[in-house]
Each structure stands twice: as structure tokens, then as C-alpha cells.
Structure 1
Amino acid sequence: MNYMTLKEVSQKWNVTPRQVNYLCAAGRIPGAVKMAGVWLIPKNAEKPIDGRTKQGKELRHE
């Protein structure tokens, strides 16, 4: 499986690398693994729904 770094994923999803790090640490990105202190995210991973927005809260409660 091909992996991307935090920086690559943050550019793809248009979020900060810190936000991607938070999502990985919280287990919200399936398949993300931490190797030697670096998060590796699968290339086919999709951006999780942001639960802080109104739309995300509605989807989370369905």
C-alpha cells in the first residue's frame, strides 16, 4: 500500500498538518500508522467529516 506524509495529506485535504496529526492520533483515519515518530496515511484515505460544523454534527448523529 502506498502512503503519504502529514504534509502531503494536509495539502490534498486543504487543512493544516497539525489537524491531520490530530485526526491520526484520534484514530479517525483508517489505516494510518505511526512509524519512527512519523504518521503514514494511505493514499486512498478519505478526509473524515468535521464534527465541529453543523453539517458534520448532523451526519454524526444519523
Structure 2
Amino acid sequence: MLDYISVQQAADKWGISERRIQKLCEESRIDGAVRFGHAWAIPKAVEKPADKRKTRRTRDEK
């Protein structure tokens, strides 16, 4: 398990919430993530996936 990190470690590394990491794992957006019971194991070398959520544009951006 030395090549994997926990959800908490990935959240600290990428600067996003643990819940967001869990959702990314559930959506198969993190390559190589493996579920062990209730926990996820995330490969250390994997890059943070792009954020594909929609954002609201302001008037200045139109």
C-alpha cells in the first residue's frame, strides 16, 4: 500500500474537500483509485482531475 494515499491525504494534497475526492472516486474520475470496504486508495502519482462542474458567469464575462 506504499504507492497509494488516503482520501484525506489526497484532499490535503489537492486542496479540495474529502467529500469531493470521494465523489470523484465514485464517478471513476481518478485513474487507478481502488475501493477497500468503505475506504478509497488513490495512487500517489495520479494528477488532480479537471473540475468539470459548471460555473455561473458574471455580467462582465458575457
Q: CA deviation at 1:53?
A: 5.2
CA RMSD of aligned residues (A): 1.4
Alignment coverage as a number of residue pairs: 54
Task: Report sequence identity in percent.
Answer: 37
**Amino acid paired to 1:35:** F
TM normalised by structure 2 equals 0.81
Q: Distance in 1 between matches of 2:15 and 2:54?
A: 16
TM normalised by structure 1 equals 0.81
Instruction: Say whether 1:49 aligns with 2:46.
Output: no
Q: Which runs of 4+ in 1 moved over 6 A?
A: none
**Structure 2: gaps of 5 or more residues:** 56-62
**Structure 1: gaps of 5 or more residues:** 55-62
